[in-house]
Structure 1
Amino acid sequence: MITEELLTELSAIIPVERIKDGEQNHPLGNTSRVNVYPQSEEEIAAILKYANEKGKNIFIEGNGTKRGYGGLTESADILLSLTNYKGIVEHVVGDMTLTVKAGTTFKELQEYLAKHKQKISLDPYLPESATIGGVIASNDSGPKRLGYGSSRDSVIGLRIVYPDGKIIRSGGRVVKNVAGYDMNKLFIGSMGTLGVLSEVTLKLRPLPKCESLILLMFPQGDMEKIRAFSTKLLDSMMEPVTLELLSPTLSEKLTNQSLFTLAIGLEDVETSVRYQEKLIKSILPEQAEMRLLNPHEAQTFWNQFYSTSFNSLEESSVVSTASLKIGLVNLDVNHVSKEFHLLGESHNLVVEAHGGLGHGLCQLTLLGAKEDIVSAIQHCRETVTRLGGYAVVNHLPFTLRQEVDVWGEKPSYFFLLEGIKKKVDPNRVLNPKRFVGGI
């Protein structure tokens, strides 16, 4: 609960009506004694400078879609919310660049850009709530990463507020910016442990003239046929934006068919899309079933796919939810998909999984008893480690984060991460214990 002293000191920085009691006893943790809602970069800098000088620690949050992602400290002194810090700073239509405040939601940006026949080439989860700052800070991406790339490919400039209140800029506002080191990559995916992203500049892409979504269903679940088809597709001249393998459980939720399913997304001019549809049909594996979704069906599919919210699920003393982000060599996704599916039976869990056969990133969701979830996470991590991959738990209740190392073993380059943190944030003000190795 906020104290009179803390309220008095903070009210000298921002109006008292934008200072509220923090939420306590949230199952995902990452709460605070007091929440503050700055509306300008100057206010953000002043709050950080105050915390740095007074020995206070701060959690950073947009709309809370990543609240269950990391964090070994249940509550901080201050939660700095960027929900009131939003809006477009500059949009240069001809150069196809956009500069925006970090608290702006992804959906708001895409709706605005659609009026100019442009879009951001990212596809994060929970787009209606996820802020662009949170997407960049967590390096969030979905199945369309195959065609779009990651945040590191879209971001061309950042403004960052350091823990001591200093404001720096990395990159620029033009696409052809080659001067100096690419400092953007230092902050993308750093989980807000090095600074508060205040502004983001992104390069855009035009809206595609035509989009298509093809579902290939494999009744016999023959993983070798799926692998052979995917290899042939990836080795061809085709350029799908998505080549995502869905587990039977997830496929049933999205398509009403409990089968291993390949979702193939195409975006281009209409002649190219139609040509690729015909080519896929011509190399269709034996016994595979092909469904070509109309635009309305495809939009419904993607809306449902990206809208799964872990934070809205109720936690109890027995049942819990976890989500894992797994990285593998791309076609190894095919190798582990069946094993992920069988986790449901071996660990008595509801398991939904999908993975990109073109980029190697998988998402695995587990629902069930807490002890079974902990066991399943360990099993998954051992499986992917043997293949040279990694597993990060990007959603887990606070109590289970005390039992499971959500980031896994420290990487060999951990000393570099730790050194950067000590240099930038020596007082451990920002998002303490939220990143790899308890940084």
Structure 2
Amino acid sequence: MITAELLTELKAILSEEQVVEGENHPLGNSGCVKVFPNTEEEIAAVLKYANETDKKVCIEGSGTKRGFGGLTESTDIVLSLANYKGIVEHVVGDMTLTVKAGTTFKDLQEYLAQHKQKISLDPYLPESATIGGIIASNESGPKRLGYGSSRDVVIGLRVVYPDGKVLRAGGKVVKNVAGYDMNKLFIGSMGTLGVLSEVTVKLRPLPKYESLHLLFFPQGNMEEIRAFAIKLLDSTIEPVTLELLSPALSEKLTGKSCFTLAIGLEDVETSVRYQENLIQSMQPAETDLKILAQQEAQSFWNQFYTITSTSSTNSSSVTQASLKIGVINMDVTNVIKESHLLSDTHNLDVDAHGGLGHGLCQVNLKGAKDDVVSAILQIRATVTKLGGYAVVKHLPFTLRQEVNVWGERPAHFFLLEGIKSKVDPNRILNPKRFVGEI
């Protein structure tokens, strides 16, 4: 009865084909009714209706982040941005791009490649991840070392507030210093403060040349890996990635089961060649080095962003989880080593990688439910002792009731709570999706 009433009322706002009955999903974050707005005005109308009638709304792009946070199995409305996509403005000379939030990252990069430009972000599952979802979750990959994060790339946002009002934060030019940088308020907020409708980003030119150095450490000596990484970072070499791969992940990507450093270089060819020579001169004894250039390097990363991503579903016997971990950069070696040991102690399939330049790691777990939960608790305890944090960015809905996805509330939680109460007093947007069940 409630679903039928919702369908009728929403069809008065949108056309009939834009409103469908929802369905339950094992990852939760579902809804009784799913709507597909085509314009910003329609997004605003749906939110205004929900706010006035106290209907809860779950925001969705393509669903790649469905298992990230959320203690609500089903809301009233799923607001999908699948139809809200396309390029609004591209100023080639200024190297800026304004795009609708539902546009997939792959579509954007393919379009920009025609102009020898790109967005300097490297999300997982780029063929289906939307720019809105990437920004809302502040997602980044190994190239964060050279590229930075969403907070470094985004220069402007249009956000639809829960009451239907539209806010413009930042601008459309790179040099914009007027007032507070409101963009950072919404980046990483998991859609709990508003619906991102348009995103303006600064671009960078495509590199003239690219290579990837795979440095294999058959002995698995972590002190040797740390010493080499410190020496490299203290040199004139400017890698875009300095990523440590666990033996299991290395075997899937390279065929060699050992701790492996993936060192990415992007620049003009002469600069890359110069840095390649430096790396070879610094190569530790008893290590193996393999260099991939151009298409080979790109193929490696294309495979990496797919193989290191968790699928959206889980079978009855196999549970998948993914953790985002942040530590002091050289403590990454401890995290990756500890993750590698979990495969034996917990009988799990474990893929792990982490950046020795930025300190962010991802650990993917696959196995029996109880073993996955135990491993999450163990690795979080290890990371806490290192002074870091561990966020579970993918987990089935039932297990998110047992495992605290975000960890303990931070000291500044009262600020987050205050902002949420001010912006969304009726708490209709992505309920219980963020830190401390905001």
Aligned counterparts of 1:422 and 1:56: Cα–Cα separation in 2: 16
Structure 2 counterpart of 1:335: 334
Match of 1:6 in 2: 6
Instruction: Note the C-alpha offset of 1:433.
Output: 0.1
Note if 1:320 corresponds to 2:358. no
Matched residue, 1:383: 382
| SS at 1:3 equivalent | helix
Q: Kindly state the Cα deviation for residue 312 of structure 1 after the two structures are TM-superposed.
A: 4.2
* Aligned-pair CA distance for 1:335: 2.4
CA distance in 2, matches of 1:366, 1:314: 12
Deviations 1:342-392 (A, max 9, x none): 011111111100000000000000001111111111111110111110000
Match of 2:14, as an amino acid? I
Contact 2:27 2:313 in 1 (8 A): no
SS at match of 2:77: strand
Match of 2:69 in 1: 70
CA distance in 2 between counterparts of 1:8 and 1:34 reads 10
Note if contact 2:26-2:313 (Cα within 8 Å) is conserved in structure 1.
no
In structure 1, what is the equivalent of residue 126 of structure 2?
127
Between the aligned partners of 1:296 and 1:257, the Cα distance in structure 2 is 20
Q: TM-score, normalised by structure 1?
A: 0.98
- Structure 2 distance, partners of 1:133, 1:264, is 29
Equivalent residue runs for 1:84-163 within 5 Å? 84-163=83-162
- Whether the aligned pair in 2 keeps the contact of 1:2 and 1:34 (CA below 8 Å) is no
Q: Which whole-Å CA distance do the structure 1 matches of 2:2 and 2:105 have between them?
A: 32
Check the 8 A contact 1:171/1:177 in 2, yes or no. Answer: yes
- Given that 1:57 and 1:76 are in contact with CA atoms closer than 8 Å, whether structure 2 keeps it comes out as yes
Instruction: State the alpha-carbon separation in 2 of the partners of residues 410 and 351 from structure 1.
Output: 27
Please tell me the residue identity of whatever aligns with 1:65.
T
Q: How big is the shift at 1:296? A: 2.8
Amino acid at match of 1:236: S
Does the residue aligned with 1:64 lie in a helix, a strand or coil? coil
* Structure 1 spans left out of the alignment, 5+ residues: none
Report how far residue 140 of structure 1 moved.
Answer: 0.4
Q: Which residue of 2 aligns with 1:357?
A: 356
Query: How big is the shift at 1:2?
Result: 6.6
Question: Which residue pairs with 2:262 in the alignment?
Answer: 263
1:350 partner letter: D
Partner residue in 1 for 2:409: 410
The answer to whether the 8 Å contact 1:27/1:315 transfers is no
| Distance across 2 between alignment mates of 1:437 and 1:328 | 21
How far is 1:297 from its partner? Answer: 2.2
Counterpart-to-counterpart distance in 2, 1:91 and 1:319: 44
Superposition deviation, residue 7 in structure 1:
1.4
The AA in structure 2 aligned to 1:22 is: G
Q: Secondary structure at the match of 1:72?
A: coil
Q: Secondary structure at the residue paired with 1:32?
A: strand
Query: Are residues 1:33 and 2:49 paired?
Result: no
* Conserved? CA contact 2:332–2:355, under 8 Å: yes
Segment drifting more, 274-283 vs 303-312: 303-312
Q: Which moved more, 1:254-263 or 1:288-297?
A: 288-297
Distance 1:2 1:342 in 2: 50
Once the two structures are superposed, residues 256-300 of structure 1 have per-residue CA deviations (whole angstroms, 9 ceiling, x without a partner) of: 111100000000011100000000000000111000013232222
Q: Secondary structure at the match of 1:252?
A: helix
Paired residue type of 1:285: P
**TM-score, structure 2 length as denominator?**
0.99
| 1:206-235 deviation per Cα after TM superposition (whole angstroms, max 9, x unaligned) | 111110111000111111111011000000
Secondary structure of the equivalent of 1:310? coil
Any conservation in 1 of the 2:27–2:67 contact (CA below 8 Å)?
yes
- The 1-side partners of 2:67 and 2:373 are apart by 15
Residues 3 and 21, structure 2, Cα contact 8 Å, conserved in 1? no
Paired AA for residue 423 in structure 1: K
Name the CA distance, whole Å, in 1 between partners of 2:208 and 2:434: 40
Q: How many Å separate the matches in 1 of 2:311 and 2:10?
A: 29
Q: Which amino acid aligns with 1:71?
A: G
Q: Is the 8 A contact 1:114 1:207 kept in 2?
A: yes
The answer on 1:211 being equivalent to 2:210 is yes
Q: Which residue of 1 aligns with 2:200?
A: 201
CA displacement, residues 7-53 of structure 1 (integer Å, 9 cap, x when unaligned): 121011110111111122x2111111010000000000000000000
SS in 1 for 2:176: coil
Q: Give the superposition deviation at 1:314.
A: 3.3
Could you tell me which residue of structure 2 aligns to residue 243 of structure 1?
A: 242
Cα distance in 1 for residues equivalent to 2:271 and 2:294:
16
Q: In the comparison of the two structures, how many residue pairs are matched?
A: 437
Aligned partners of 2:134, 2:156: CA distance in 1, in Å?
15
Query: How far did 1:182 drift?
Result: 0.4
Q: Deviations over 1:276-330 (max 9, x none)?
A: 00000000001110000132322221111101342344321x3200000000000
Q: Aligned equivalents of 1:166 and 1:435: distance in 2? A: 22
Output the CA distance in 2 between the equivalents of 1:335 and 1:389: 12
Q: Is the 8 A contact 1:219 1:287 kept in 2?
A: yes
Deviations 1:394-422 (CA, angstroms, capped at 9, x unpaired): 00000000000000000000000000000
Any unmatched runs of 5+ in structure 2? none
Identity of aligned residues (%): 76
**RMSD of aligned Cα (Å):** 0.9
The correspondence of residues 394-409 of structure 1 with structure 2, limited to 5 A, is 394-409=393-408
Asked if 1 retains the 8 angstrom alpha-carbon contact of 2:20 and 2:34, the reply is yes
Farther off after superposition, 203-212 or 303-312: 303-312
Shift in alpha-carbon separation, 1:4–1:335, aligned structure 2, 3 A: closer
Once residues 378 and 8 of structure 1 are traced to their aligned partners in structure 2, the CA distance between those partners, rounded to angstroms, is 45
Conserved in 1, the CA contact under 8 Å of 2:103 and 2:130? yes
